[in-house]
Homo-oligomer: A and B are copies of this chain.
Amino acid sequence: MTIPKSAVTRVPGFRAVGVTCGLKQSGNPDLALILASHPCTAAAVFTTNVFKAAPVLYDLALMERTGGKLQAVLINAGNANAVTGGQGLADAEQMARWAETACNLPADSVFVMSTGVIGQKMPMDKLETGIRIASETILTEAGRYGSAVAEAIMTTDLVPKEVFVQVVVGEKRVHLGGMAKGSGMIHPNLATMLAVIVTDAAIEPAALTAALKQAVACTFNRITVDGDTSTNDTVLILASGEAGHALISDSQSPGFAPFVTALTDVCSGLAKAVVRDGEGATKLIEITIRGAASEVEAEAAAKTIATSPLMKTALFGNDPNWGRALAAIGRSGARVDPAQVSLRLGDFQLVAQGEPLPFDMIAAHHWLAETDEVKLVADLGVGQAEATVWTCDLSYKYVEINAEYHT
């Protein structure tokens, strides 16, 4: 779906635009620029992958230098600037410098993200031109509407992913607009889950970081398409403070809780959109583990099911194959009482007290064939902790996407 205004530009004080600079062979928009009217408080979380792409290394140092003060974000799709050595790092910095100059911003005010092919040098000539065009276009109506900004960060995503949420903090309306890209690590060497969220909330850097980590922990960190992390994964949030409510200085401030709730809604919406758009996905699969000894073990069990090719192919085949879910739980490392474990798929109770129950296999198969959203709930029977993870099924299309395209 495309909306008249992009989610990020629905937040007062933010302009955005997507332009074409020629990184995508398709000629589709491939360079996105988001610009705030004033310097913003910024917080970001990055990939845990040891091989961090040049822009990630640049941004890590940037956040350190600025203490979390930024005014713009530059994102390119088509080249990840990853495994590009020293030249890659210099290129990431040059991209930031060009954007800062073009937008009349001081040094160290632009955050850089890249997604695309790994191991190829950035075509800096194209980027120099593209950055100039983007910084000019963003001052026009297109910039006010955020034209093509969500499209410009897509790689093999089938749809742009945007979420807009409003929340009242201290009797003031606070706006949050976010966009994301990603559908697994993608053909032939493309990668990455990127998300940018902007808000007019007034919040201190430390509190914003705490809020982002809290929101990401149970959303972006709870999704998986194929179990692979990328070299570029990044989630960034910019807060302009223009909403005018009392400053959220820390997690004890009255505005913190409602803000985290709204931010979690944005992250959750974007995260599920990424999974729904997973490579070759035909179903969104929600896996909830209950009765675990700890939340860590609940998450481990859920993620083991969520990354099991057997479970994912079974659900693609509309097969209520609970044996595969139990086998996955059994190797997850989570403590479980085999005599107490229970399992439910949608409305079908398949296992109780560790024993298989008779159920209408045909009805379950038909239900799976018709739904595009599957809920699997397992109780490990050893504690009170629980966790939910979202993934998608594994289809012929996934194999095609990842096998048929060649580097």
- Chain A residues at the B interface, C-beta cutoff of 8 Å: 48-52, 82-83, 85, 118-120, 184-185, 188-189, 191, 226-231, 307-310, 313-314, 316-324, 326-331, 336, 338, 351, 354-356, 361, 365, 394-396, 398-400, 402-407
Contact = CB atoms under 8 A, between A and B. Distances in A.
Contacts of A400: 396
Contact of A326 (B83, B313, B329, B398): B83
A228 B399 contact: no
B403 A327 contact: no
A340 to B, nearest CB: 12
Contacts of A226: 308-310
Nearest to A87: B355
A120 B372 CA distance: 29
Given A50-B336, A189-B324, A317-B403, 13 more contacts: A51-B326, A83-B354, A120-B356, A184-B310, A188-B314, A227-B308, A228-B309, A228-B327, A314-B402, A316-B403, A319-B403, A365-B406, A395-B403
B83 A402 contact: no
B309 A398 contact: yes
A15 B365 CA distance: 45
B313 A407 contact: no
Contact of A403 (B307, B313, B320): B313
A60 B380 CA distance: 24
Nearest to A332: B50
B403 A228 contact: no
The 7 closest A-B pairs by CB, nearest first: A317-B403, A118-B323, A313-B402, A119-B356, A49-B330, A50-B330, A51-B330
